[in-house]
Chain A
Amino acid sequence: MRHLESTSFRLLPAAALLLALMFGSVHPARATAFAYHDYDGMVAELQAFAATYPGLAEHFTAQDAYGLPTVPDGALDLEQHILRITNESLGLDKPEVLMVGVQHGDEIVSLEVCLELARLLLESYGTDPWLTELVDRREIYMIPLANPHGFNHGVRSSPGDEGSEDMNRDHIYDRCTGFCAFDDEDSLSTVGARAIHELARRHLFRVMLDYHGGIEIIIYPWGTPLHTANTESPDEAGADALGLRMQSFGGPYNGLSPVGTSNDLLGAVHGPMDDTAYASSWDVANADPLWPTDGWRAVAYTIEISNQKMPPVATLGGDADLLTPGGLEDGYVPKNVRVGLAAIDIVEPYILWTNRASIPAQVGEGEPFTVEWEVRGCFEVDDTHVRWGTDPDPLTTFSGQTTSQQQTTGTPCFETPTLFSAEVSIPTAGTYYLTPAAQVDSSLLDQGNPTPNLLPQSWLVRSRTEDGLLETNSVDPTEVNNVRGQMFWGVEALEIQVGEGSLIFADGFESGNTSAWN
């Protein structure tokens, strides 16, 4: 069920229906246009994803996985549904990213972004090379509808232990203490916030996007009263760099979204999701001790999608030209699907060897051949070259390398990445292994005057700037997750025989003899 069916109108909030009737039909104007889902429609979508793509998508609920209570709503028992997208055949120890939608029940456009992002990744697998890489190399978790009760009633709040609560003040970092006129006091008293916490403490998310509606802005920590005097976090450089990339790749629809810290652009609140996701595992003195976790060191954002919490259907956009900022059917959903893709892409560097199939399997001593590659999942390329040696792991142990190249301007790792190229010649006979290697993003270590005065704390930055880092999360023994830090990144090494004789390609053809292709 892709679009809103007439039979499911009963669950759409009344206010939403009214807005839809005022501003546009709930039925799509174009065959590919996006439309709003209700709770049942969302569940059906997630079930369909899992059924259609069994090796790529897994659907479960926080109630089933973590034993949380359901959220009663009249005769209904609502649940927090979770979707995981990854190529399971490649294992489950991959860099992880989390997307959350509809913490505020009336900001329903965020649900549509999550669903369409999931659909794009799954439907494009095997056909779009970049999106296929992302599904192969990442674990993408989504809670598209964190607050189903508020959603069904068209209200911001969620039922909690203290009555009707704002879920995005219910997380564990910088809890309100003492005089507390506007904020609730207990952490995780809403089931949705608890579901997010239970998921997070079993994982090591490197980026977290919390989608909202009501304004168009991209904000990141600091965003709590603790950090009013100085809004610069230790990971300001990384947070700002990704914020600007998401702004750019999201594109110009209704204007580029401003990027900055929550405290600078909006103001401070207690217990928000983004500061919790960033800091609560290392700034533990300011996190609720009742809910300890090692899972939260994400570069984290609140993504405000649209100036209206439920923008008219006509502004949601469609799925034609979805990857192009300002594309044919651009709208709030495509724009923010791209924001999500930028976040998924950045979580770990990787190298694509673009001419691996044409690298010779055998060359003469000193005989040159060309290696071409791209460096992805980064902002800047500080140093890249080809390494070779007789050790099967030439990234670590190598006897030769090409001249270092770098590109620290533009977007060398994204959209249309820089094609690096080097001529390799190995002078001495033997069996060699070679790989392109890249060091990236040292500028993410740049700091002004952060509070607290620490080096970057996020997994995103540390994993690419800190050799030897190893963090393991085994809270869920069935899925142990690791963050490994390394300064240089490579690819699976290629074996080459260097000796006398002609240059022989891996497919058996001699250099220059292309007759077999004719």
Chain B
Amino acid sequence: MNTHHGSRQTLALLLGLLVAPAALAAVPFDAEITLVPEMEDPAGIVAEPRREREALQDNTEARRGLDLLRQQVTGLWPRIREIDLVELSRYQVEQTRGFELPAAPGELTGRVLANDEESGLWHLELRGPRLPARFDIVYRFLHVFATFDPATGEIDRLTVTIRGWVEE
């Protein structure tokens, strides 16, 4: 597991302050983003089995968390664009070389993964832009995982990785 720090982050922070919409001023732009290699599990994030997961998708609290996560990811997008995707990639490495994320994240498809009954935390996932692959049947996307605490309204454990599937 890698953590994204350093001068690039500082630069991104400055850029972010310039471009972040006023409505997102409350977004913790210096929030720590954990980077996880492609298809590895994000630490501290869990997912319910598929059937149980389906029942969570319409939960109002969870949807609020997803909306907030979308806002944060949009606000943090300049930083996210700085991430070295080649370093994150475990497959299609050559195809990823030279690829740049779009200037805006575009549609961020959200999914509720789990609710920790003990802590009350919601475990959330956003799927961002598609990443390159040698073959069309390989689907790779930038993914953001996080937890949402409905009591405090805060997003935590922000994790960026690459996930996807193959329709071989």
Q: Which A residues have a C-beta under 8 Å from some C-beta of B?
A: 104, 156, 162-163, 168, 178-182, 184-185, 212, 214-215, 217, 219, 225, 228-229, 262-263, 265-269, 302, 304
B168 and A162 contacting across the interface, CB-CB below 8 Å = no
Q: How far apart are the CA atoms of A37 and B91 in the complex, in Å?
A: 37
Quote the shortest CB–CB distance from A160 to chain B (angstroms): 11
Quote the shortest CB–CB distance from B151 to chain A (angstroms): 24
A266 and B45 contacting across the interface, CB-CB below 8 Å = no
A266 and B138 contacting across the interface, CB-CB below 8 Å = yes
Number of interface residues, chain B, beta carbon within 8 A: 29
Q: How far apart are the CA atoms of A168 and B137 in the complex, in Å?
A: 15
Q: How far apart are the CA atoms of A268 and B164 in the complex, in Å?
A: 10
Please tell me if B118 contacts chain A, counting CB pairs below 8 Å.
no
A266 and B136 contacting across the interface, CB-CB below 8 Å = no
A162 and B140 contacting across the interface, CB-CB below 8 Å = no
Per CB-CB distance, the 7 closest pairs between chain A and chain B, nearest first, are A179-B41, A267-B91, A228-B90, A266-B166, A215-B137, A214-B137, A267-B166
A228: chain B residues at CB < 8 Å are 39, 90-91
A185 and B46 contacting across the interface, CB-CB below 8 Å = no
B140: chain A residues at CB < 8 Å are 267
Please tell me if B71 contacts chain A, counting CB pairs below 8 Å.
no
A219: chain B residues at CB < 8 Å are 168
Q: Which B residues have a C-beta under 8 Å from some C-beta of A?
A: 39-42, 45-47, 49-51, 90-92, 111, 113, 125, 133-138, 140, 163-168
Q: How far apart are the CA atoms of A302 and B135 in the complex, in Å?
A: 15
B92: chain A residues at CB < 8 Å are 267
What are 23 pairs between A and B in contact, CB < 8 Å?
Answer: A104-B167, A162-B50, A163-B50, A179-B41, A179-B42, A179-B45, A180-B49, A181-B47, A181-B113, A181-B125, A184-B50, A215-B136, A219-B168, A225-B39, A228-B91, A262-B168, A266-B134, A266-B166, A266-B168, A267-B39, A267-B91, A268-B90, A302-B168
B136: chain A residues at CB < 8 Å are 215
B49 and A214 contacting across the interface, CB-CB below 8 Å = no
Q: How far apart are the CA atoms of A217 and B135 in the complex, in Å?
A: 10
Q: How far apart are the CA atoms of A265 and B133 in the complex, in Å?
A: 9
Q: How far apart are the CA atoms of A242 and B133 in the complex, in Å?
A: 26
Quote the shortest CB–CB distance from A331 to chain B (angstroms): 21
Q: How far apart are the CA atoms of A268 and B91 in the complex, in Å?
A: 8
Q: How far apart are the CA atoms of A217 and B138 in the complex, in Å?
A: 13
On whether A182 and B135 interact (CB within 8 A), knowing A225-B39, A302-B168, the answer reads no
A sample of 8 more A-B contacts (CB under 8 A), given A163-B50, A215-B135, A268-B39, is A184-B50, A215-B136, A219-B168, A225-B40, A228-B90, A229-B90, A267-B133, A269-B166
Quote the shortest CB–CB distance from A296 to chain B (angstroms): 19
A217 (CB) vs chain B CBs: closest residue: B135
B166 and A178 contacting across the interface, CB-CB below 8 Å = no
Other-chain contact of A178, B39, B41, B113, B135 (Cβ < 8 Å): B41
A182: chain B residues at CB < 8 Å are 163-165
B41, B42, B45, B167, most chain A CB atoms within 10 A: B167
Q: How far apart are the CA atoms of A491 and B42 in the complex, in Å?
A: 58
Quote the shortest CB–CB distance from A193 to chain B (angstroms): 15
